[in-house]
Structure 1
Amino acid sequence: MADDTLTAPLRSPLSQVADRLAAATRTSEGAIRLAELPFLAQLNVRLDAKGAAAAAVGLALDVPLPLQPNSVVRAGELTVLWLGPDEWLLVGPPGSGPEWESRIREAAGDEPVAVTDVSAQRTTLLVTGPRARDLLAHGCPLDLHPRAFDSGRCAQTTLGRTQIVLVARGEPRAGFWVLVRSSFAGYLADWLLDAATEYI
């Protein structure tokens, strides 16, 4: 008997709440927009930031690896997040992970580098709208005022007691990415919907 799970279509961690996220967006009259960005490619990269590989990898990706703590750089469809002195997270379109990994390994040559595809580990929630910062501030310990956490910033933090990676997108209207482990995504979506009640 054939195993149907091998041919079943992919299902995102938040597919069951997509309608609720869309309904909250509609009823908030633009104050809050909530949506899942499923299946984004995510690669964790570890290498010596001061070694030859860092510059070579930046050239291969057409974007330098950010060296400023908690900063983000973007080029085209690729976003690179600084997670630590020798650690970055690359986020790109669905399915782009193998291409990025190949480029990184080729550019690094004999230099030590670790590349791990963590695409299935997390999903991404998009939180936008004029009240997005207020909504996130309900459960995030960071100072989210634009002077402290403006576009081009990222942080490993918590939201509603859930570990996340928070990314302030490139312009105020672009809002935030909330990268959350797939196993906690449903809980966090429920938390966001509950916290958004006052704007709906």
Structure 2
Amino acid sequence: MADTALTAPPRSPLSHAAARLAAATRTSGGAIRLAELPLLAQLDVRLDAKGPAADTVGLALGLQLPLAPNSVVHTDRATALWLGPDEWLLLGRPGTQRDLENRIRTAAGDEHVSVTDVSAQRTTLLVTGPRARDLLSRGCSLDLHPRAFGPGRCAQTTLGRTQIVLVARDRPRAGFWLLVRSSFAGYLVDWLLDAATEYI
């Protein structure tokens, strides 16, 4: 039994909600789109932003770690979110966490760097459409106007009493990513669907 559990393929914490999210998207008439982006690679990276490891790690990943507070840098390989002066969350395609971690550790060499695989900790919801900001504003205290929270911004905040990392995607009208702890993901889906009632 234990061997089976260890070798079973990973399962999204919101696999049971996919049909509900798709139905809400269909019935909204294009006003909103809700979907899960399951099993993204997620690495918590801590290092000295002013030390040599920051540059070498950035080169190995093909991106420069963002240094401005609450900013995001995106490439085809990965997305880096600024979480603090010495902390970033690195997102990648499902199954790439080991490759990303190896790149970071190899690039850092003897420099002090902490890399923690937190892929199982959170799942990601995609919220797009012309009413996406209106929907999120119902339960988020941040000013989500594009001038205040435009593309390439991120923040640790709450939505409907749930802690999330909110990311304004890097293109206009591309919507938002909501990174939520797996144990709260079902509650957040319920909240989103309830808040979106007038659109669906």
- TM-score (norm: length of structure 1): 0.97
Tell me how far 1:2 sits from its aligned partner: 7.2
Give runs of aligned pairs for residues 62-141 of structure 1, distance below 5 A.
Answer: 62-141=62-141
Give deviations 1:133-180, integer Å, cap 9, x for gaps: 000000011000000000000000000010000000011221000000
Distance 2:105 2:36 in 1: 30
Describe the shift of the 1:2–1:105 C-alpha distance in structure 2 as closer, same or farther (beyond 3 A): closer
In the comparison of the two structures, how many residue pairs are matched?
Answer: 200
Unaligned stretches of 5+ in structure 2?
none
Tell me how far 1:3 sits from its aligned partner: 4.5
Tell me how far 1:62 sits from its aligned partner: 0.8
Distance 2:33 2:174 in 1: 10
Preserved contact between residue 62 and residue 77 of structure 2 (Cα < 8 Å):
no
- Tell me what 1:57 maps to: 57
SS of corresponding position for 1:174: coil
Unaligned stretches of 5+ in structure 1?
none
Distance 1:3 1:111 in 2: 37
Opposite residue 12 of structure 1, the aligned amino acid is S
Give runs of aligned pairs for residues 9-28 of structure 1, distance below 5 A.
Answer: 9-28=9-28
- Tell me what 1:186 maps to: 186
- Tell me what 1:159 maps to: 159
Describe the shift of the 1:9–1:62 C-alpha distance in structure 2 as closer, same or farther (beyond 3 A): closer
Distance 2:32 2:62 in 1: 33
Identity of aligned residues (%): 79
Tell me how far 1:20 sits from its aligned partner: 0.5
Distance 2:172 2:14 in 1: 25
- TM-score (norm: length of structure 2): 0.97
Note the aligned Cα RMSD (angstroms): 1.1
Give deviations 1:60-108, integer Å, cap 9, x for gaps: 1110000000000011131000000000000000011111111111111
- Tell me what 1:175 maps to: 175
- The runs of at least 4 consecutive aligned structure 1 residues that moved more than 6 Å come to none
Tell me how far 1:11 sits from its aligned partner: 1.8
